[in-house]
Amino acid sequence: MNRLYRFVLLALAISVVALFCPCAAHAAVSISTLLTGEAYCDCGDSRNLAMPADINSKSLKSTARNIVRSVRTPDMDDYELALALNDWLMENTSYKSHTTGAMNVLANGYASCSGYANAYCALLNAADIPYKRVVGKVFRFTHVWNLVKLGGNWYHVDVRLNDSSQSHLYFGLSNEAISVNHSAFGKRDCVSYEYNYGYRSGMYDEAIAYIESQIEENFSKNIPAFAINLRDSNCPEPLTNEIMARSIAGVLSNRRYAFDGEEHRIRVLFVDGGIAINVDIPFVRITSITLDKHNVKLSMPDSSSFPITYQLSASITPSNASNPVLFWKSRNEKVASVDQNGLVTIKRYGNAKIQALSEDYSKKIDTCKFTVRKK
């Protein structure tokens, strides 16, 4: 029983390591190495976090240039070249703990988490593509990956996890998208989606078309806010992956759609199990109020003529103000009162100012002075 119990514990331990540690997930972890403690997520070792000393060596630069020449074609732009270099590492590198030196990775084909990032730095440097190294966390484990500048904007690229997942899921991610698994990476200016692999490759086209059809249907019914359930069986596959769904939401947030006769940007937010969409209608304040009369003089024969009414009207600028409602008030209720439709009731001789004020906090006002005298 003791041996069986121990075996079950070891099996559970291996499952936990493979599930939560991206470095160990790709490695071949045997029971013997787990027992001796030789297999673990080595990026947690502070010795492996710094840029290795060989990053500026002549031999590394020469090796990196040769690799760049081998994958580059005359018509490649920076995005295509950065992707090709990511793919070269995926095809020619296997995980091996404590292997951080870029030259060692490129020459021998083995890398730890930081080794992938360091080797990618060397290749991007040889390709004249701006890059940075990022030290953060994946789940609770310290991890190293890259930032790449494409089209003037920075994007997250995690070659190690691309290799582990055998995909391009982690190529060209924004802060919003990569934060599904990654954290503690500081303030990074990664908010663009133009060079996200899924978007650039057309992988997201069906999902984007599906959401846009929902937008058009709801907006045509004057529904400015609604949610899409991503667990719906009709949802295209990319929307079932949270990283992809966040990227797709970011793409759509930069577009404009017709609503209520005008084009508006929309807000698209990923929420647990769904995407919330609403029209981003800017608040338009009143800039001026103009009454049809500003000075009204009345002559009444005697007090038996009271009360009498007088209709005022007001116009506002701009006509599409978000809150066009005006508040009417009298500055002398004893002489004249006013209702909220601008109808003035004159009660006696005297003077009274009737005002129309904006209710949208723009503090706009216009005034009409009433002077009532005996004939």
Q: How far apart are CA 107 and CA 98, in angstroms?
A: 15
* 341, pLDDT greater than 60: yes
Contacts within 8 Å (CB) and 24+ apart, 203-206: 203/238, 203/244, 204/238, 204/244, 204/247, 204/248, 204/251, 206/236, 206/238
State the average pLDDT for the chain.
Answer: 84
Q: Are the CB atoms for 219 and 225 separated by under 8 Å?
A: no
Beta-bridge partners for 367 = 355
Q: How far apart are CA 213 and CA 305, in angstroms?
A: 65
Q: What angle do CA 47, 144, 158 make, to 5 degrees?
A: 155
Predicted confidence at residue 53, as pLDDT, reads: 57
* 194, pLDDT greater than 90: yes
Of the ranges 204-208, 225-229, 366-370, which one carries the lowest mean pLDDT score? 225-229
Task: Compute the average pLDDT of residues 176-194.
Answer: 90
AA identity, residue 149: K
Q: What is the percentage of the chain residues whose pLDDT exceeds 90?
A: 56
Binned at pLDDT 50, 70 and 90, residue 54 comes out as low
Binned at pLDDT 50, 70 and 90, residue 50 comes out as low
Predicted confidence at residue 255, as pLDDT, reads: 83
Rounded to 5 degrees, what are φ and ψ at 84?
Answer: -65, -35
pLDDT (tens digit per residue) in 81-135: 999 999 999 999 999 888 888 998 999 999 988 999 999 999 999 999 999 999 9
Binned at pLDDT 50, 70 and 90, residue 141 comes out as confident
Of the ranges 8-12, 161-165, 167-171, 226-230, which one carries the lowest mean pLDDT score? 8-12
Binned at pLDDT 50, 70 and 90, residue 152 comes out as very high
- Per DSSP, 52 falls in state P
Q: Which helix (H) or strand (E) holds 269?
A: strand 262-271
Predicted confidence at residue 240, as pLDDT, reads: 86
Of the ranges 36-50, 174-188, 271-285, 338-352, which one carries the lowest mean pLDDT score? 36-50
CA dihedral (149, 155, 160, 162) positive or negative? negative
Q: How far apart are CA 170 and CA 174, in angstroms?
A: 10
Task: Compute the average pLDDT of residues 49-64.
Answer: 77
* 322, pLDDT greater than 90: no
Q: What is the percentage of the chain residues whose pLDDT exceeds 70?
A: 85
Task: Compute the average pLDDT of residues 295-310.
Answer: 93
DSSP track, 318-360: STT-S---EEEEES-TTTEEE-TTSEEEE-SSEEEEEEEEESS
Predicted confidence at residue 2, as pLDDT, reads: 47
Structure-derived torsion over alpha carbons of residues 244, 249, 251, 254, reported in degrees to the nearest 10: -170
Residue 303 structure tokens: 């007090």
Binned at pLDDT 50, 70 and 90, residue 51 comes out as low
Beta-bridge partners for 277 = 226, 268
Task: Give the three-class secondary structure for 35.
Answer: helix
Predicted confidence at residue 262, as pLDDT, reads: 77
Q: Are the CB atoms for 29 and 96 separated by under 8 Å?
A: no
H helices of the chain, where?
2-20, 22-26, 31-36, 58-71, 78-92, 102-108, 113-126, 159-165, 175-178, 197-200, 205-220, 242-252
Predicted confidence at residue 11, as pLDDT, reads: 42
Binned at pLDDT 50, 70 and 90, residue 184 comes out as confident
* 359, pLDDT greater than 70: yes
Q: How far apart are CA 243 and CA 240, in angstroms?
A: 9
CA dihedral (201, 207, 209, 212) positive or negative? negative
pTM of the entire structure?
A: 0.66
Binned at pLDDT 50, 70 and 90, residue 15 comes out as very low
Q: How far apart are CA 134 and CA 145, in angstroms?
A: 5
* 170, pLDDT greater than 50: yes
Predicted confidence at residue 98, as pLDDT, reads: 84
326-330 sheet: strands from edge to edge: 295-300, 365-374, 350-358, 326-330
Predicted confidence at residue 275, as pLDDT, reads: 87
DSSP track, 279-321: EEPPPPPP-EEEES-SEEEEEESSGGG--EEEE--EEEESTT-
Task: Compute the average pLDDT of residues 223-250.
Answer: 88
- Per DSSP, 42 falls in state G
Of the ranges 33-47, 161-175, 227-241, which one carries the lowest mean pLDDT score? 33-47
Predicted confidence at residue 52, as pLDDT, reads: 57
